[in-house]
Structure 1
Amino acid sequence: MADEKADFDHKEDVVQEVALTPAQIQARFPTLRDLSSDEMQALNRRVVKIIDWRMMPCITLMFLMNYLDRINVSNARLAGLQEDLHMSDTVWNTGISTFYIGYLFGQLPGNLWLAKANPRWLLPSIMLAWSLGTICMPAMKSGAGFAVCRFFIGVAEAPFFPGITLMTSSWYTKEENPMRMAIWHAGNTISNIISGFLAAGILTNMDNVLNLHAWQWFFIIEGAVSILVAVSGFFLLPDWPHNTRFLSESEKEMAQYRVLLSNGAQEENDGGTWNGLKAAAKDPFTWLFCLMHFALVTAQSFKDFLPSILETFHFDQMTTYLVQAPPYAIAYIFACSTAYSSGRFQESFYHIVIPIFFSAVGCSILISTLNVGARYFGVVLLVSGTYSGMNLQLSWETTLVPAPRSKKAALIAIANCISQSSHWFSPYFFPTSQEPFYRLGGGLILVGCLITVIAAGLVKWRAKLLNKRLDEAQGYTGENGEERGWRFVY
């Protein structure tokens, strides 16, 4: 009862801020006070356009390279990496798992640091660190070396994904967030497309060039491109809305006004690092999103093994590399479409649950027949639903816990950190002995889909409960055209 009372008191505090009108929030900013509605709209459009063109292409490309680094080992495996280093399936899976153990060590402290640091410097520096680790991978001589390299690359990459999630939600409103996150989050689908083409070009043509294996060239080229992208980030990325160097004073204040209005007048930069961590740990939303994120990562456990799964379709090596592209291209289009719809209608639950149902159908097809056409269709359904769900889960959690930034950073990091524990055991569900159906892995994917639906239902239930409390605190009855104000989105 005491915890419920404290929670309700907190919501009542929020209500007081929610009661602020847009005009009252506008009055907080000296350069915006005297602007008309038309002038505010024009300034808002200008700020969104600047950030869209400066930040979005940069973080999309950075995330593309980030995800390419995660999945490149799958295609390198087909090119002989596992055999050349004399690794058994167990040793290989251990090496895959150590990457995500590195995530555990680097994620939470990295994201808490980012909440207080300058993202323009920190994010590219993180990218430089993992790119240098990737370039070192051609020097590996054994399975132990593979595990060590992947561990340190995982530590370096850990803060990046939650970091750009935090950055996006700090610049865009709850209506804009789903689509913007879909754009950069689609970097993982695009990277799968590019990975297939790179594999087709490099892994089939560069073996024994300068006495190096083709998979060694794969890591060298990918690492070198990542370094170039990281360097560009130092020049292109913005800071936070209040201190970005390439915005005028009025544009900075508009950037703050937009997010403050979207957050229900809750201050983004309020609260210290450890206060944010404690607040996130006490909020039930944190643990519900931990469960949902864990379930979605489990449902995506196929991604490290998709080239091996497609190999069971008995295409030639070149075709196996190339047929990876269409499912991810379709998933990209689908993710952007569902994100646009979710943002426009301010609805998340059904936009996640319905595609996840079709992913479960796709997985069921994949593990129940040897018909190549049916199995390939199953792959399309599986990839599309799970990747769209992951994107919308990220925007949903940052919409339900919009501020302060330190709390939001902690929530993102905790949820993403715990979810990665799925990678500690999921590789062992895809041994080569399970070919061609990989039914053990398919069963794991289906469990992940089921838990996703349960977790989404619990989040929706809690959001509705808190909205009911806010209605009661404000005396809202829904009659006579009452203004309801800010509410939790579900």
Structure 2
Amino acid sequence: MSKETFTHHELASAQIMTPFIENAELEKRILRKVDLRLIPPLFIMLTKFFLQDLDRNNIGNAKEAGMQKDLQLSSSDYSLALSIFFVGYLLLEVPSNMILSRTRPSLYLPSLMLIWGCLVIAYVGVNSKEALIGLRFCLGLVEAGFFPGVLLFMSNWYKKTELARRFSIFYCASLVSGAVGGLIAGLIVDHMQNRGSLPAWKWLFLIEGVLTIGCAIIAMFILPDFPATTKWLTDEEREYAIRRLEEDNNSSEVQGITHLQSFLFAVRDWRTWLFVVAQSLCTCAGTITYFIPTLMASLGYAGNKIQYMTIPIYCVALVVVLICCFSSDMQNERPKHIMVMAFISTISLIIVAAVENPKARYVFLAFGAAGIWCCSPMTLSYLSNIICRPMEKRAVSIGIVNALANLSSIYGSYIWPSSSAPKYIPGFSVSIALMACCIASAFTLMVLTKKYPYELTKDGGVNESAQFTKADKIGEV
């Protein structure tokens, strides 16, 4: 464990000895400072996250830009290249978050960015489907820790009622990536084909890999670590920043938990597995992201217009996600928002699958995708609110949920076979079923987490009175 992390735990523990008194003016001042200091570097990482998703989403743009033809990829080869990424993701996501909980985020997260930026540039050397599949697997290994790591990092700075709107800004980078990725892909297809003996799809990855590395280097110098180790807060502000999180149950008074203990606490908590189910439904449905360019082709668009027509879909989703997450924070409510967005998505996708008019299908596809993309950040914020401490357990729970949920993307990669064009009934049917189940899972979480509230014991476990299996609690139902 690093010296910075020791200091973080020691200072947090010391503040528990004095009573906490709320100070609205001081809290506003701290939040202004935190937002000003955290959001710009997170915007760099947000920009990087949208570059990260460009790296992921561009597999779809690259497919339509000639990669499938150049590498002689069949529909099943393309699905394998998509799904193998999530195998790597699954293997290292939990270990990565366990490491992050004991080290400095300002170094660890940018280092991940730097490594996968180099791997993205390596697409330039890909000349076979085997090389593509191997590189995608390596990218999954490296990118595994970034998304859950940022959520864990932000939960160490913000209260439950502040988290969703900040996380939504970060998450929306992936939607910006879809819009900007389509624009960049269209321009590259127009102007960079066979420049320097490289096809346009290789230029796509080369340019974004270089930008990724640049963002990683900048983030290393400006990203902070923890409230207790931050020099730009005064002593009074630092103490209050720590204590307000402790009062909100986002910070932990439990110290000295080992990796094994935190892992066991997480896997023994039934809440973790309910969130695995909920997030898996969102993530599996979310594989529609990788087929948006293909769906544009099925609506009659061709050439660079395929990439350009993806832009409005991501713009609609961007607005919807921000409104939903800000509303969730202001009302301090998660599951009902998830249910509403999953319902909107379900109805919209039913219309897309049922109608023939291309314009109507395009409009409702935008709202159907927006509903899917809303549910994922909302579910992760809900998880961070419910399993709020100790930090080490929260880190493992986030890692487990995100890792196993991404495993569902392996199945999701195969529900859009090219043989089902142009209606893609299998893909839409499965997505509709997943979103309907998402409504049920959010309702189940809402009922059970209210009935069996999270109560922490001194050793980091969960109080027996909060356990789902407790006989006397069941008897009270």
> Compared with structure 1, are the counterparts of its residues 248 and 375 closer, same or farther at alpha carbon in structure 2 (3 Å cutoff)?
same
Residues in 2 aligned to 1:410 and 1:195: alpha-carbon distance in whole angstroms: 32
Verify: 1:250 aligned to 2:223, yes or no. Answer: no
Q: Residue 239 of structure 1: SS of its match in structure 2?
A: coil
Identity percentage of aligned residues: 27
Q: What is the CA deviation profile of residues 110-167 of structure 1, one whole-angstrom value per residue up to 9, with x for unaligned ones?
A: 1110011111000010011111111001111111111001000110000001000101
Q: Contact 2:316–2:366 at 8 Å: present in 1 too?
A: yes
Aligned to 2:182: 196
Superposition pairs for residues 228-377 of structure 1, below 5 Å? 228-263=214-249, 266-267=252-253, 271-377=257-363
> Compared with structure 1, are the counterparts of its residues 269 and 181 closer, same or farther at alpha carbon in structure 2 (3 Å cutoff)?
farther
Aligned to 1:223: 209
**How far has the Cα of 1:270 moved from its partner?**
5.9
Correspondent of 1:434 among 408, 420, 437: 420
Superposition pairs for residues 32-111 of structure 1, below 5 Å? 37=23, 40-41=26-27, 43-111=29-97
> Compared with structure 1, are the counterparts of its residues 270 and 163 closer, same or farther at alpha carbon in structure 2 (3 Å cutoff)?
same
Residues in 1 aligned to 2:57 and 2:345: alpha-carbon distance in whole angstroms: 20
Q: Contact 2:251–2:390 at 8 Å: present in 1 too?
A: no
Aligned to 1:154: 140
Ranges in structure 2 where 5+ consecutive residues have no aligned partner:
1-10, 457-477
Choose 269-278 or 205-214, whichever is displaced more: 269-278
Residues in 2 aligned to 1:244 and 1:379: alpha-carbon distance in whole angstroms: 45
Verify: 1:407 aligned to 2:393, yes or no. Answer: yes
Q: Contact 1:91–1:143 at 8 Å: present in 2 too?
A: yes
Residues in 2 aligned to 1:76 and 1:26: alpha-carbon distance in whole angstroms: 48
**How far has the Cα of 1:70 moved from its partner?**
0.9
> Compared with structure 1, are the counterparts of its residues 448 and 30 closer, same or farther at alpha carbon in structure 2 (3 Å cutoff)?
closer
Superposition TM-score, scaled by structure 2 size? 0.88
Q: Residue 429 of structure 1: SS of its match in structure 2?
A: coil
Give 1:124's aligned amino acid.
P
Q: Contact 1:182–1:335 at 8 Å: present in 2 too?
A: yes
**How far has the Cα of 1:40 moved from its partner?**
2.9
**How far has the Cα of 1:26 moved from its partner?**
11
Aligned to 1:484: none
Q: Contact 2:160–2:250 at 8 Å: present in 1 too?
A: no
Residues in 1 aligned to 2:242 and 2:260: alpha-carbon distance in whole angstroms: 23
> Compared with structure 1, are the counterparts of its residues 78 and 36 closer, same or farther at alpha carbon in structure 2 (3 Å cutoff)?
closer
Verify: 1:455 aligned to 2:409, yes or no. Answer: no
Superposition TM-score, scaled by structure 1 size? 0.86
Q: What is the CA deviation profile of residues 340-384 of structure 1, one whole-angstrom value per residue up to 9, with x for unaligned ones?
A: 111111111110011111111121122222211110112111121
**How far has the Cα of 1:42 moved from its partner?**
5.0
User: RMSD across aligned C-alpha pairs, in angstroms?
Assistant: 2.4
Q: Contact 2:15–2:242 at 8 Å: present in 1 too?
A: no
Residues in 2 aligned to 1:31 and 1:454: alpha-carbon distance in whole angstroms: 43
Give 1:77's aligned amino acid.
K
> Compared with structure 1, are the counterparts of its residues 279 and 81 closer, same or farther at alpha carbon in structure 2 (3 Å cutoff)?
same
Choose 249-258 or 415-424, whichever is displaced more: 249-258
Residues in 1 aligned to 2:454 and 2:115: alpha-carbon distance in whole angstroms: 47
Q: Contact 1:96–1:427 at 8 Å: present in 2 too?
A: yes
Give 1:136's aligned amino acid.
A
Residues in 2 aligned to 1:462 and 1:233: alpha-carbon distance in whole angstroms: 40
Correspondent of 2:150 among 160, 164, 175: 164
Residues in 2 aligned to 1:47 and 1:332: alpha-carbon distance in whole angstroms: 26
Q: Contact 1:291–1:419 at 8 Å: present in 2 too?
A: yes
Ranges in structure 1 where 5+ consecutive residues have no aligned partner:
1-24, 471-490
**How far has the Cα of 1:264 moved from its partner?**
7.2
Give 1:460's aligned amino acid.
M
Q: What is the CA deviation profile of residues 22-71 of structure 1, one whole-angstrom value per residue up to 9, with x for unaligned ones?
A: xxx99964999899936634543444334444443233122111111111
Give 1:316's aligned amino acid.
A
Residues in 1 aligned to 2:176 and 2:207: alpha-carbon distance in whole angstroms: 17
Choose 81-90 or 238-247, whichever is displaced more: 238-247
Aligned to 1:465: 451
Q: Residue 125 of structure 1: SS of its match in structure 2?
A: helix
Residues in 1 aligned to 2:348 and 2:16: alpha-carbon distance in whole angstroms: 55
**How far has the Cα of 1:250 moved from its partner?**
3.1
Q: Contact 2:13–2:253 at 8 Å: present in 1 too?
A: no
**How far has the Cα of 1:271 moved from its partner?**
2.5
> Compared with structure 1, are the counterparts of its residues 154 and 38 closer, same or farther at alpha carbon in structure 2 (3 Å cutoff)?
closer
Q: Residue 194 of structure 2: SS of its match in structure 1?
A: coil
Residues in 2 aligned to 1:412 and 1:34: alpha-carbon distance in whole angstroms: 28
Give 1:284's aligned amino acid.
W
Residues in 2 aligned to 1:377 and 1:53: alpha-carbon distance in whole angstroms: 32
Number of aligned pairs? 446
Choose 264-273 or 189-198, whichever is displaced more: 264-273
Give 1:338's aligned amino acid.
C
Superposition pairs for residues 473-484 of structure 1, below 5 Å? none
Residues in 2 aligned to 1:111 and 1:294: alpha-carbon distance in whole angstroms: 19
> Compared with structure 1, are the counterparts of its residues 283 and 80 closer, same or farther at alpha carbon in structure 2 (3 Å cutoff)?
same
Give 2:233's aligned amino acid.
L
**How far has the Cα of 1:332 moved from its partner?**
1.2
